């Protein structure tokens, strides 16, 4: 009986694709996220990312309690900021829910839907080893009043950044980089969003150059 219940639970969790891209992934016609992005397609199902990036890591950057006064009384919810990543990929999500676990799960799904490619390289004039351990050139990301600069670093430098930025860079696969932050850097969401925007804009710029080329 327990084995039957186990099979039922597995079947309940089985992914049933709802989009054309999802069905193509399930059928093996698309075998990597790179193919999806190069084709200009959109990821609309978090399960696509889970399937194509089995080594994907998750990092809960912050959780806070949000309270709102209504006619029926005070309503309390949890707000979660979650990042997901794998070498060459990074996603960021923010969501709210009445339960902490639900807020984290919702933010994780949003992060997967927001995942973007991260182009790794060696842009440091001190190194020039040609290996993908840093970024190929200086990146700048902005969100709200916060600006974050990601500067190529030589091999062996490590990630020179505060805890939040370091976690995001490590998730994306960076091993060495200098960083600088400006503005209201105590605002966690803005800081994390600025780092994410730097990589998102990098991807958009690379697409534009490929199109113009």
Residue 76 belongs to some domain of the structure: no
Helix 163-172 with 188-212: angle, nearest 10 deg: 30
Last residue of one domain, picked from the residues 30, 52, 74 = 52
Residue 68 belongs to some domain of the structure: no
Residue 154 belongs to some domain of the structure: yes
Domain with 189, as residue range(s), is: 139-212
Residue 65 CA to residue 63 CA, distance in Å, equals: 7
Residue 165 belongs to some domain of the structure: yes
Q: CA of 140: how far to CAs of 69, 75, 81, 125, 189, in Å?
A: 38, 38, 21, 18, 16
* Residues in Cβ contact with 186 at an 8 Å cutoff, skipping those fewer than 6 apart: none
Residue 152 belongs to some domain of the structure: yes
**Total of domains in the chain:** 2
Residue pLDDT, tens place only, 134-149: 999 999 999 999 999 9
Residue 87: strand, helix, or coil: coil
Q: What is the average pLDDT across 39-47?
A: 93
Residue 81 belongs to some domain of the structure: no
pTM score, whole prediction: 0.88
Proportion of the chain above pLDDT 90, given as a percent: 80
Residue 57 belongs to some domain of the structure: no
CATH code assigned at 179: 3.30.230.10
* pLDDT at residue 207, as a whole number: 53
């Amino acid at each position: 009986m327990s084995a039957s219940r186990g099979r039922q639970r597995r079947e309940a969790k089985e992914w049933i694709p709802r989009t054309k891209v999802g069905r193509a992934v399930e059928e093996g016609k698309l075998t990597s996220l790179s193919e999806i992005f190069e084709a200009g397609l959109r990821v609309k199902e978090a399960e696509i990312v889970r399937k194509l990036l089995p080594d994907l890591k998750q990092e809960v950057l912050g959780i806070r309690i949000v309270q709102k006064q209504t006619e029926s009384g005070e309503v309390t919810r949890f707000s979660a900021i979650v990042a997901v990543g794998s070498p060459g990929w990074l996603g960021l999500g923010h969501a709210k829910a009445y339960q902490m676990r639900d807020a984290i799960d919702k933010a994780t799904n949003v992060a997967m839907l927001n995942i973007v490619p991260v182009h790794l390289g060696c842009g440091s004039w001190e190194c020039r080893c040609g290996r993908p351990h840093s970024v190929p050139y200086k990146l700048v990301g902005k969100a709200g009043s916060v600006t974050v600069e990601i500067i190529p670093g030589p091999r062996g430098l490590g990630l020179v950044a505060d805890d939040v930025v370091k976690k995001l860079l490590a998730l994306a696969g960076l091993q060495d980089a200098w960083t600088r932050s400006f503005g209201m850097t105590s605002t966690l969401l803005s800081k994390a969003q600025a780092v994410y925007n730097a990589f998102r804009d990098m991807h958009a710029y690379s697409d534009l150059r490929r199109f113009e080329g």
